[in-house]
Amino acid sequence: MSDGAAAAGPPPGPAVPRGLLGVPGRLPFRISRQPPAEDLAWLVDRFWSSAWDLPDGDAVTARVLPHPNVNLTVEGHDDTLVVTGTARGVWHRTLTGTGDVLGIKFTVGAFRLVSERAPRLDPVGEPAESLLPGGAGLRSALAGRSRAEQRTVLEDWLRRLRLEPTKELHTVQRAAAALLGDPAVTRVGQAAELVGVSERTLQRLFAAWVGLSPGWVLRRGRLHAAAERVIQLAAAGRSDGQERFADVAAEYGYADQAHFTNEFRRVLGAPPAAWAATLVTRTDPTPVPSTAP
């Protein structure tokens, strides 16, 4: 990301929440996000919920470009508890019929305090009972309750764990915030200097707390921002010119347009122009909307 990116004017088209891989207003499911209680804000980034009601025979593939956060979800009529680690690629799930999900998005690295075992780093979640302290009892407490009541149960469960943030977690989270959101931070060494540790120490801390390298987090944050801009161009009908993607590549610090295109294709499965076209032209029952919790 170049220093000039911070001074760039507002992007075209409607505002798109960072990480949302779909044009606002065209998603066939509803997403809501709620902040945590103040005493849990260091541990929980947000509570979120998703709901859908699709006609019989229709299916929608929801795709997510994950943040470097762990999510805990309560899913289905049987209130299954699932923990999903950060996927290195795109997380996807096929939605049919009627359903809803309640989720906790933990702050970066914080799940390491909740569980001694890190979740798998892949697009498939795993049953939560074996990962969570008191997991079986938690699922029983959630059973048969409304999603609003389940949120209260989850908050009470987290409080009973009596967790406290550590100095190491604070360092990781400060560095992650810079890597993900500061356009002036273009190298891992800059983030390490910002939080007052060596680059090698930062690498070690991220391995222990996040399970991913600081370089991966930096690249993911840059790709989130670039994908957001591609979506805005598509929504505004301005994604048909390669020169626009050259501008996006330059704005977000890619070495050149080829580097941007290759990274975009490697993670999202198609070059920017082809991927943007799916956002505005598909009309069949399996569009390519996405949302990031």
Is 70 part of any domain?
Answer: yes
Considering the domain architecture, whether residues 206 and 237 belong to the same structural domain is answered as: yes
Considering the domain architecture, whether residues 154 and 43 belong to the same structural domain is answered as: yes
Give residue-wise pLDDT tens across range 178-234.
999 898 899 999 999 999 999 999 999 999 999 999 999 999 999 988 888 888 887
pLDDT at 5: 37
At 111, which amino acid appears? F
Q: Is 265 helix (H, G, I), strand (E, B) or coil?
A: helix
Is 23 part of any domain?
Answer: no
pLDDT at 280: 60
Boundary-marking domain end, from 102, 134, 160: 160
Considering the domain architecture, whether residues 234 and 124 belong to the same structural domain is answered as: no
Boundary-marking domain end, from 129, 160, 191: 160
pLDDT at 157: 97
The helix (run of H) or strand (run of E) holding residue 231 is helix 214-235
Mean pLDDT of the chain: 84
Considering the domain architecture, whether residues 171 and 229 belong to the same structural domain is answered as: yes
Give residue-wise pLDDT tens across range 244-254.
888 888 888 88
| 20-29, 126-135, 150-159: range with lowest mean pLDDT | 20-29
Is 44 part of any domain?
Answer: yes
Q: How many domains does the structure of the chain reveal?
A: 2
Give residue-wise pLDDT tens across range 114-135.
998 888 777 678 899 889 999 9
Are 265 and 24 within 8 A, CB to CB? no
From 81, 69, 75, select the one nearest 93 (Cα to Cα).
Answer: 75
pLDDT at 124: 74
Give residue-wise pLDDT tens across range 81-115.
999 988 777 777 788 899 999 999 999 999 999 99
At 205, which amino acid appears? L
CA dist 117 and 25 (Å) reads 38
Boundary-marking domain end, from 160, 187, 210: 160
Considering the domain architecture, whether residues 142 and 231 belong to the same structural domain is answered as: no
- Name the residue range of residue 242's domain: 166-281
Residue 292 predicted with pLDDT over 50 = no
DSSP symbol at 101: E
pLDDT at 14: 46
User: How far is C-alpha 13 from the geometric centre of its chain's CA atoms?
Assistant: 22
Considering the domain architecture, whether residues 127 and 50 belong to the same structural domain is answered as: yes
CA dist 256 and 251 (Å) reads 10
Considering the domain architecture, whether residues 155 and 197 belong to the same structural domain is answered as: no
Considering the domain architecture, whether residues 178 and 63 belong to the same structural domain is answered as: no
